[in-house]
Amino acid sequence: MRVIFVIAKNTFREAVRDKILYAIVGFAVLFILSSLFIAQLARGDIVPVKSFGLAGIYIFGLIAAIFLGSSIIYKEIERRTLYFILSKPVSRSQIIIGKFFGLLAAVALITITMTIVYECVVFYQSGSFDYVSIIAMIFQIMEEAIFIALLIFLSSIVAPLISTTCAIVIFFVGHITTSALAEAELVGGISYKFIAFVYYVFPNLDKFDLRSFAVHNIPVPRSLGIIAFGYALLYSCALLYCAHLLFKRREL
Amino acid sequence: MVSAAIRLILIAALFGGITGTQLLYDASKIKFPETDFAISPKFLKSVDAGLHPALASYLWLFKTRTELIKFLFLPKDQQTERYSRLSKDIDAINTIDPRYSAPYAYSVMVLPASTYVDRIQATIDIGTKGVKQADPDWQIPFYLAVTYHLDLKDRANAAKYFDIAGHTPGIPELVRIFAINYGTIPSVREQTKQIWMAIYETTDDETTKERAQAYIIHLNILDYLEAAIKKYKERYGEYPIDIENLVAKKIIPGIPKDPFGFEFKIIGGEVRVKD
């Protein structure tokens, strides 16, 4: 446990020291602040301010996860720092888990920072905080956990560019499958079976999208929290376990 | 030192060139063809990675709202063609985010024109959809009621939507009083009462039933007070200054309690809700 904590701490430190991260956060803050300009255009309507702000947090959170996660294992192999770590009493699974938590902490920190800026913008515009968006951000962090686990999984088998491309494709698939399944249901046959397979096997990310709830100030059903948490936990574990198996077979 | 200065000049020249090219482009005023939503809103919704409100806000603020404003200043012959495109765009936005109230509210305000029957129908369709699925916004039922009243002379639906508007949070007080007072002037009061009685008798919804009952009581109070004012005039030859005079002169035992909590005033022998 202590080993995992040390690896996580070092991964977190390395991530927050990355200069590209500051550029991403800087752009994100600028994007969220630009909602103030949107507010002028929308003539007092808070819906566009919230929707653009939350979209910014989501997009930049994902960009940060991709930049930090796509080469996380591959980089260690390329730099040969992994050999040094493995010469210590550290198992490969501890490396995977430690990397996951360290990266998740860094991405969660970015998400929280952006949420604070967003809340300030909403408060400045409407005179009250957007509490539902805090729940939406917790869900976003759960989604980011799956995404980071996916990036670690991909990073342990392929080069960063391929890993980034695959992650982006899987991310889109994760958002399309619900509507694709509904359409395929009308067609039926083999197409439906294929889409149903993709729907259940690939990460289904729709359940983490609480931005519409936050924008329109709708209470979030409690059961959704439990289901989403369970799904994120199981999916992340499955991906990390697969990453561990592949990583274990790899000759270093 | 010299090379640093040259580099600086080179960078400045490059940026100067970029700005110049942009200025040249702006001056050329090349117009790009305007396009409709070429992609179906359902498809857009499925590929926006869950960012439905942001996409709907973007399409509304940076495309359709401007078009809607331009539309008002178009010559009449061009309005019909543009209108059909606009109503499709608005529908697309509200397919992407059905709860976004601004497009519905704006449409029911801007589209109605008694000279265009299809636009009235479009207003009714957009407004009714907005009342059902958008975030509560008093402007949608209010302007829908105005369309029913002015363009369709449909008092029953006008009363229904004025009532919804009057009970929507955030409605300005003056507008609320107007909405609640709809149909209370003596010449149409009886008809309004009949409408609410019909709603009371036919609805299965408990809230609507309670609301209809409150309106009937409210209108009965107005009748009761106006009858007392008439009696006062017959007795004293002039109208009372305020409602309290009716109690003071023992014309009525007390002022009835209004179900909406309104107080009343007298204007030229008629009873009105106090501002």
CB-based contact A211 B51, cutoff 8 Å: yes
- pLDDT on residue A38: 83
Query: Residue B113's pLDDT band (boundaries 50, 70, 90)?
Result: low
Number of H helices, E strands in chain A: 12, 0
- pLDDT on residue B34: 56
- pLDDT on residue A115: 94
Average pLDDT over chain B, rounded to an integer: 82
- Average pLDDT of span B1-7: 76
- Whether the CB-CB separation of A67 and A20 falls below 8 Å is answered with yes
CB-based contact B49 A52, cutoff 8 Å: no
Tokens (6 digits) for B142: 């209010």
- Whether the CB-CB separation of A39 and A48 falls below 8 Å is answered with yes
Give the integer Cα–Cα distance in Å for A78 and A225.
40
Domain ranges of chain A: 2-249
Q: Which chain B residues contact residue A178 at CB under 8 A?
A: 46
Nearest CB partner across the interface for B53, out of A47, A175, A179: A47
- pLDDT on residue A109: 94
Nearest CB partner across the interface for B53, out of A51, A175, A205: A51
Alpha carbon of residue A45 to chain centroid: 29
- pLDDT on residue B114: 62
Query: Which residues fall within 8 angstroms of residue B236, CB to CB, at 6 or more apart?
Result: B249
Rounded to the nearest angstrom, the minimum Cα separation between B264 and chain A is 34
Residue-wise pLDDT tens digits, B27-78: 877 665 555 555 677 777 877 888 899 899 888 888 888 787 777 777 777 7
Q: E-assigned strands of B76-150?
A: none
Chain B residue nearest residue A175, CA to CA: B49
With 80 as the cut, is the pLDDT of residue B103 above it? yes
- Whether the CB-CB separation of A209 and B50 falls below 8 Å is answered with yes
Q: B23 versus B228: which is more confidently predicted?
A: B228
Q: Which chain B residues contact residue A44 at CB under 8 A?
A: none
Q: Which chain A residues contact residue B105 at CB under 8 A?
A: none
- pLDDT on residue B36: 55
Average pLDDT over chain A, rounded to an integer: 88
CB-based contact B57 A47, cutoff 8 Å: yes
- pLDDT on residue B197: 83
B59 touches chain A (CB under 8 A): no
Q: What is the ipTM of this complex?
A: 0.71
- pLDDT on residue A119: 94
Alpha carbon of residue B86 to chain centroid: 18
Give the integer Cα–Cα distance in Å for B160 and B112.
19
CB-based contact A55 B51, cutoff 8 Å: yes
Alpha carbon of residue A117 to chain centroid: 19
CB-based contact A48 B57, cutoff 8 Å: yes
Q: Which of A233, A239, A230, A228 minimizes the C-alpha distance to A205?
A: A228
Residues of chain A with pLDDT under 70: 251-252
Query: Which residues fall within 8 angstroms of residue B198, CB to CB, at 6 or more apart?
Result: B156
Q: How far is CA A105 from CA A75, A131, A134, A144, B236, in A?
A: 19, 22, 17, 10, 83
Give the integer Cα–Cα distance in Å for B126 and B260.
30
CB contacts under 8 A, B 109-138 vs A, are 135
With 70 as the cut, is the pLDDT of residue B16 above it? yes
Our CA angle for A51, B133, B51, nearest 5°, is: 25
Q: Residue B195 carries which side chain, given as an amino acid letter?
A: I
Query: Residue B1's pLDDT band (boundaries 50, 70, 90)?
Result: low
Rounded to the nearest angstrom, the minimum Cα separation between A55 and chain B is 6
- pLDDT on residue B37: 53
Q: B164 versus B181: which is more confidently predicted?
A: B164
φ, ψ of residue B265 to 5 degrees: the values are -135, 165
CB-based contact A47 B54, cutoff 8 Å: no
Tokens (6 digits) for A115: 């949420």
- pLDDT on residue A224: 85
CB-based contact B135 A217, cutoff 8 Å: yes
Tokens (6 digits) for A117: 């800026």
DSSP B2-40: HHHHHHHHHHHHHHHHHHHHHHHHHHHTPPPPP----S-
Q: Which chain A residues contact residue B58 at CB under 8 A?
A: 52
Residues on A contacting B at a C-beta cutoff of 8 Å: 38, 41-42, 45, 47-48, 50-52, 54-55, 58-59, 171-172, 175-176, 178-180, 205-206, 208-209, 211-212, 215-218
Distant-in-sequence contacts of A99-102, Cβ < 8 A, 24+ apart: A99/A7, A99/A8, A99/A11, A99/A72, A99/A73, A99/A152, A100/A8, A100/A148, A100/A149, A100/A152, A100/A236, A100/A240, A101/A4, A101/A8, A101/A11, A102/A7, A102/A8, A102/A9, A102/A10, A102/A11, A102/A12, A102/A14, A102/A15
Domain B1-181, classified CATH 1.25.40, yes or no = yes
Give the integer Cα–Cα distance in Å for A232 and B231.
76
Nearest CB partner across the interface for B61, out of A41, A59, A205: A41
- pLDDT on residue A165: 92
Q: Which chain B residues contact residue A50 at CB under 8 A?
A: 53
With 80 as the cut, is the pLDDT of residue B252 above it? yes
Domain ranges of chain B: 1-181, 183-275
Rounded to the nearest angstrom, the minimum Cα separation between B51 and chain A is 6
- pLDDT on residue B130: 92
Residue-wise pLDDT tens digits, B119-136: 788 888 889 999 999 999
Question: Any idea which of A44-58, B138-152, B157-171, B190-204 has the lowest mean pLDDT?
Answer: B190-204
